[in-house]
A = this chain, B = another copy of it.
Amino acid sequence: MAKSRTAPGQEDLTPRYRDVRALSEALAAPLSDADATAQSMPDASPAKWHLAHTSWFFETFVLRDHLPSYRPFDPHYAYLFNSYYEGEGERHARPLRGMLTRPSLDDILSYRAHVDAALLAALPGMDPQAQALVMLGLQHEQQHQELMLTDIQHLLSLNPLEPALFDAPSGMPAALPGAIHWIEGRQGLVEIGDDGKGDFAFDCEGPRHKALLHPHALAHRPVTNAEWIGFIEDGGYRDPALWLSDGWAWTQAEAIAAPLYWRQEQQGWTRFGLDGRKPVNPAAPVCHISLYEADAYARWAGARLPTEEEWESGALNVPPTSGNQLDGPACPRPQATDDNSALTRMFGDVWEWTGSAYRPYPGFHADDGALGEYNGKFMSGQFVLKGGSCATPRGHVRASYRNFFYPHQRWQFTGLRLAKDL
C-alpha cells in the first residue's frame, strides 16, 4: 500500500496511538492462533504477521532510530517482520510467512505490549521528527488493519466450512436504488493533491499541483450488485469485445465468471464475507471485482472509469469521514434512498477503481532511505483506487488518498463508479 510524513500538528499523539493500536487487537480478537498464522496466498499475510509488522515499523523507524536506550523485544524479529524495505536488509521470504507458527499470537501480543510501553513512555518528550514518524506508523497500521481483514476473509473463504468471523445484519432492502444520475464535474484547471493542511498525508499524495480536466460527469453512486447481475446475465463475462486484452486472458486462464467469493446456487447468487456466506444483496455496491472487470463493465454500460483526477476533484467537497467505513462489521451496505443530485457514497463501502495507472504526481520525489521505499517503488503496473471501503478505519482516507493494486487483484473491497465524457 502507501505512505508519507507530513509533520503532525501539535496534537498530543498519545490517545490516537492508544486507539489505533487497540483497534488492531480488537480486530484480531476473534482469531485463534491458527487463524492468525495461516497465509492463503503470497499476496496476503497472516494476521499475526500484520500485528507484528506494524510493531516492527515503530520499533525500527521510531524506537531504534530515536530512542538510544531502547532494547528490541527479540533481535530475530527484524528479519521476520520487515515487509519490503530493502534498505533494512535481508528478510523472511514473503510466500513463507505462513510457516511462522512461532512466535505465537500470544508472543506477538507481548511484543506489541513491549513496543507500546516503550513508545508511550517516550512519546511526550519526543522531538517533532520522531513524532512525525509515530504518525506515519499509525497511518501505516491503519492500512494494515484493512489488509488484515481482507486477508482473513480470503483465508476463511478457502475453508470448505466457510466460517463467519462475525454476524452482520443481512440488510435486504425494501427497494433498489434508482437509476444512475450523472453529476457534471469541474473542467479546466483544478488543484489536486495534498495541500499540506491536514494532519497527515502520504508522500505519493503530493505535491499539490494543477491538473487539467476535460468535460466529464461521474455517476452519483457506485454500481450495484443488481446491475452487476445484469452484466453477467447479458453475457458480459463471455464477450471478448468488452475486455482489455490482458483482462480477457485472465478470465480465460482463471475461469472468471463472477466477482470473487460469489457462487451461483439454486436460489440465486451468494457471496462469502466476514459474516459468512449470504445471498448477494442487490442494493449493495458490487465488491471484490478486478480492474479488468470494472473496465469491462464500464464498456458494457457505454461509459468509462473515472480518471483519478476527476475522482479527486469530485470528492473535494465530500466529507472524507462520511460513508460506511470501519466502525463495526466490515461489509458493504445496501442503500436504497441515495440523494441523486450530488455525488454520494464517495467514501466508504468499496474502493473505486479509476482508469489511472499509479504513477507519480508531477513533481513527486521519494524520500531518501528505507522509508522512501514506502510508496514510490510500486509505481508500475498498478491502478489507482479512491475513496476507502467498509474496512478502512474511519479518519484514515481523504480525497487525495491514492490506493493501488494490480489490475487482476480483487480480494480487497473493490468496486466502481462510472464516468463519461461530456
Contact surface of A with B, Cβ cutoff 8 Å:
32-38, 40, 76, 79-80, 84, 86-87, 92, 96, 98-105, 155-156, 158-161, 163, 189, 209-212, 214, 240-241, 243-248, 291-292, 295, 355-357, 359-360, 362-363, 372-373, 377-381, 383, 407, 421
Contacts and interface: CB of A to CB of B under 8 A. Distances in A.
B101 A159 contact: yes
Contact of A359 (B357, B379, B381): B357
Contacts of A378: 244-246
Given A160-B79, A244-B379, A381-B407, A32 B86 contact: no
Contacts of A100: 159
A108 B312 CA distance: 51
B99 A244 contact: no
Given A100-B159, A357-B357, 7 more contacts: A37-B101, A76-B161, A99-B155, A101-B159, A210-B212, A210-B214, A246-B381
Task: Please give me the 3 A-B residue pairs with the lowest Cβ-Cβ distance, nearest first.
Answer: A357-B357, A86-B240, A34-B37
Contact of A160 (B40, B80, B356): B80
A94 to B, nearest CB: 10
A111 to B, nearest CB: 13
A380 B363 contact: no
A383 B381 CA distance: 9
B86 A380 contact: no
A405 to B, nearest CB: 12
Nearest to A247: B380
A156 B98 CA distance: 11
B214 A105 contact: no
A66 B357 CA distance: 40
Contact of A37 (B38, B209, B241, B245): B38
Nearest to A357: B357
A214 B362 contact: yes
Given A38-B37, A292-B380, A359 B363 contact: no
Contacts of A383: 380
25 contacts: A32-B33, A32-B102, A32-B104, A33-B33, A34-B34, A34-B36, A34-B37, A34-B104, A34-B105, A38-B38, A38-B99, A76-B161, A79-B160, A86-B248, A96-B158, A101-B155, A102-B163, A189-B212, A211-B212, A244-B377, A244-B380, A246-B378, A247-B380, A363-B421, A381-B381
With most chain B CB atoms within 10 A of its CB, the pick from A99, A158, A292, A357 is A99
Contacts of A240: 86-87
A210 B189 CA distance: 11
A380 B291 contact: yes
Given A34-B104, A101-B32, A210-B212, A380 B359 contact: no
B377 A243 contact: yes
